[in-house]
Amino acid sequence: MDFLVLAQAFEKIEATPSRLEITAIFSELLKSAPPDISGKLVYLSQGSIAPAFEGIDLGMGEKFVIGAIASAYGYSRQEIEKKFKNEGDLGLVAAGLAESKRQTSLSVSTLTVEHVYDAFLKITKQSGAGSQAAKIKILVELLNSASALEAKYIVRFPTGKLRMGLGDPTILDALSRVVANDKSKREEIERAYNLCSDLGFVAMNIMSGRDEFLKNMKLTPLKPIRPALAERENSAEAIFDRLGECAVDSKYDGLRMQVHKDRGIVEIYSRKLEKITAMFPDIVREVKSRPYDSLIFEGEALAYSEEEGKYFSFQQLMQRKRKHGIGEKEGELPLIVHAFDMLYIDGADLTSFPYIDRRRKLESAFGSATSRQGKIRPSEMIIARSADEIERFFAHQTRAGLEGIIAKDLSMPYTAGARKFAWIKLKKSYGDMVDTIDAVIVGFFKGKGDRARLDFGGILAGAYNKETGNIETLARIGSGFSEDEMSDMRGQLEKIIMPKKPENVVSEIVPDKWVAPEIVITIAYDEITESPMHTCARTEKGKGLALRFPRMAGMRADKSVFDATTSEEVRRMYALSKKGRA
């Protein structure tokens, strides 16, 4: 398939704000492509060449791409930098230069999607000394064969600027349209996606007409499952009203991990499904030593001192993220993983089993919560037969310093990728009506007065609307930052400034600079209120929801945009706060 066809589809997608139209364009594109490249089309359309959990990065900064453009079109680096300053987009710079080149030369060969994909794959494989030069050479070769439109998108890949609002929900809808001409297959396709987190793989199978694929899709070790999420209630009574007799698990405030074993290979994935295996050599060793050929389980990892019976903070645990000195940190910060779900064991996919059966498998693999053996131990859990029992367990766990509880419906399957009432969380903080929201930064304001020096006066942030894929604003935050945090934040935002409002941001407020919506932060606030200015969960009457006295409470690097608090959740939190704690 000619790459030009893909570039033309990108161009159309970029020009339309209508998600319905984007879905139609993308489904037509899939239909017109040979089935075996549909996976590649999906990856490329999301600015990548593999599912996110593979962690494959093209790894070329703006500086190198500028070098490649200069060399492809015979300009100096300074000249390209100047053009970039004027245009604000390297894709447009390359397109302009490719256009003038076309007028003076006739030798443009045809690029195919496969060719471009393979070139990007080759870029990711370069490492060590001389790798940047090799990457630039590959990019220059691509640009030498590219038309103006192709050059625009080729350049946007390595700079991470291929943002067209083509998120997972749109691609899922497009696939359903391909199969059924409407949205009716969406749920089934989404289920397959939730089980493997690989949209390219799902697309490739669907487009190849593998009829049984959707029905037979099962969990596979080393392909992470999209995590189940918890709903919230604000009292033990409300939980018991919903679930009746239920399991009540301790809610630990650590790092969620999904651990996979497939014979000799162990991989660990974060909540965002990034590979974090290298941070946990001790856990890898322990999982390898377990007498199972294959396993997938989930748990919450915390730093824990057995002698002191004390947990350490999430921040301390994150120090393991440092690439070096892991062995040393292992000694200083002994880890414990509170395993809370078993999803796969020795070839059997347990995701459709009721929770209680999965829990039994978990305990038969790792012993009881009180066993003091090994670093992997089941979470502390009780079966509650009354609201009172839930309340007592909650009080006991929060007194012991834990965050709260998660009640679990005994009969529910694992609800991959969905926030459902199969799990209901009750946190200590809900009692005082101080909860937090994980929101996406969409823009920032320049500083005035004291802050002029830092060129930073606060941020505009929003919730993720799962239905539309848009970010809807709910807070303008100017406090809660230390001076260091402000300059740090300013530096991070600088790298993702967008020349205009990103298509998938819905906002009435115009910040001084828009940014690509990709950084998630935790916001503390006093209450949720209705607002005519903010667009979160906006009703037909034009009333949105906003946070009163919002303040920065930390970064949520473990969350991607799709994991941010959704508009629907904010609406529910608003409703819960009006009801008050029972």
Chain residues in the site for ligand ATP (CB under 6 A): 229-230, 249-252, 256, 271, 300, 340, 379, 406, 425
Minimum separation from the CB atom of position 220 to ligand ATP (A): 22
Compute the distance between CA of residue 532 and CA of residue 509 in angstroms, rounded to an integer: 11
Compute the distance between CA of residue 198 and CA of residue 235 in angstroms, rounded to an integer: 37
Please tell me what DSSP assigns to residue 228.
P
- Residue 263: CA atoms inside 13 Å, Cβ hemisphere, count? 0
| 463: β partners | 472
By beta-carbon proximity to ligand ATP, the closer residue of 72 and 382 is 382
Q: Is 25 strand, coil or helix?
A: helix
Minimum separation from the CB atom of position 559 to ligand ATP (A): 7
Question: 101, 251, 329, 559: which is the annotated catalytic residue?
Answer: 251
In the annotation, is 466 catalytic?
A: no
Q: Which residue has the tokens 């539309």?
A: 468
| 311: β partners | 304
Compute the distance between CA of residue 555 and CA of residue 320 in angstroms, rounded to an integer: 17
Minimum separation from the CB atom of position 388 to ligand ATP (A): 21
By beta-carbon proximity to ligand ATP, the closer residue of 230 and 477 is 230
By beta-carbon proximity to ligand ATP, the closer residue of 267 and 569 is 569
321 vs 31, 313, 418, 439, CA distance in Å?
Answer: 42, 14, 27, 23
Q: Contact at 8 Å (CB) between 299 and 337?
A: yes
By beta-carbon proximity to ligand ATP, the closer residue of 120 and 423 is 423
The amino acid at 303: A
323, with CB counted inside 10 A (0-12, 13-18, 19+), is exposed
Minimum separation from the CB atom of position 51 to ligand ATP (A): 20
Minimum separation from the CB atom of position 375 to ligand ATP (A): 16
Compute the distance between CA of residue 155 and CA of residue 157 in angstroms, rounded to an integer: 5
By beta-carbon proximity to ligand ATP, the closer residue of 161 and 425 is 425
By beta-carbon proximity to ligand ATP, the closer residue of 231 and 391 is 231
By beta-carbon proximity to ligand ATP, the closer residue of 217 and 229 is 229
Minimum separation from the CB atom of position 134 to ligand ATP (A): 40
274 vs 75, 279, 424, CA distance in Å?
Answer: 39, 12, 25
Compute the distance between CA of residue 77 and CA of residue 458 in angstroms, rounded to an integer: 34
Minimum separation from the CB atom of position 229 to ligand ATP (A): 3
The amino acid at 485: E
Residue from 479, 461, 481, 494 nearest 561 by CA: 461
Active site residues: 251
